[in-house]
Amino acid sequence: MNPTLQLFLIISAALFCIGLLAALSRRHAIFILIGIEMMLAAAGLNFIAFWRFAPQPAPPTGVMVTVFAIAIAAAEAAVGLALVITVYRHYRTTNVDQIDQLKG
């Protein structure tokens, strides 16, 4: 079976949905972060796939965008984890159900 663009898009969509599901349904803040990272990875996969299946030789924009996205995702994960730690110190929990100070 030859890999086609559709195949990659389906995998990427599946990855995105898994990530979204994790972000929506997990109660632990760190698992929500992981879900968000998975959604980012799905986006990166899309970039690479579209670049790979473009008429070659194509300028390597898809790869560049993904490399930057990975670098930014690393920074984002660092900030996210720092936030989780701060939230934990403040509320003594990382369960997002119990963190509802945004309540109107």
Partner 1 sequence: MSNWIGAHLWLILAVPLAGSLVILSLTNSRRTAAAALAIVGQVLAFVLSLGAFLPTLQAPGYRVFTNFTWFTFGEQTLRLGFLLDPLTAVMLVMITLVSLCIFVFSVGYMASDKNFTRFFAYLSFFSAAMLGVVLANSLLLLFVCWELVGLASYLLIGFWIKRPSAAAAAKKAFIITRIGDLGFFLGMLWLYGQSGTLLFYDGGNGALESHGLLSLGASATFIALLLFCGAVGKSGQFPLHVWLPDAMEGPTPVSALIHAATMVAAGIFLVARVYPLFSLGAIAGVTPSLTVVVWIGVVTALISALIALAQWDIKRILAYSTVSQLGLMMVSLGVGGVVAGIMHLLAHGFFKALLFLGSGSVIHGCHEEQDIRKMGGLRGRMPVTFLTYAIGMMALSGVPLFFSGAWTKEEILHATLQWPVSRAPHFLMLAGVVLTALYMTRQMIYVFFGHPRGSAEHAHESPPVMTAPLIVLAVCVIAFSVMLTPAWPWLFRYLAGATASFAFSQLIQPGLFIALALVVLGIALGVLIYRRPGELDPMEQSLPALFRFLQHGMWLDELYDRTVLAFARGAARTSDWLDRYFWDGLVRGFGALGSSLGSFTKGFDERAINAGANDAAAAARDLGGLISRRHSGQIQTYLGVVAVGMLALLLLYAWLT
Q: Under the rule (CB under 8 A), what is the footprint of partner 1?
A: 20, 23-25, 32, 59-60, 63, 96-97, 99-104
Provide the minimum distance between the beta carbon of 77 and partner 1 in the complex, in angstroms, as a whole number. 16
The whole-angstrom separation of Cα 99 and Cα 86 is: 12
Shorter beta-carbon distance to partner 1: residue 32 or 73? 32
Provide the minimum distance between the beta carbon of 36 and partner 1 in the complex, in angstroms, as a whole number. 10
Shorter beta-carbon distance to partner 1: residue 3 or 60? 60
Sequence-distant (6+) residues with CB within 8 A of 65 are: 47
The whole-angstrom separation of Cα 96 and Cα 42 is: 24
Beta bridge partners of 28: 95
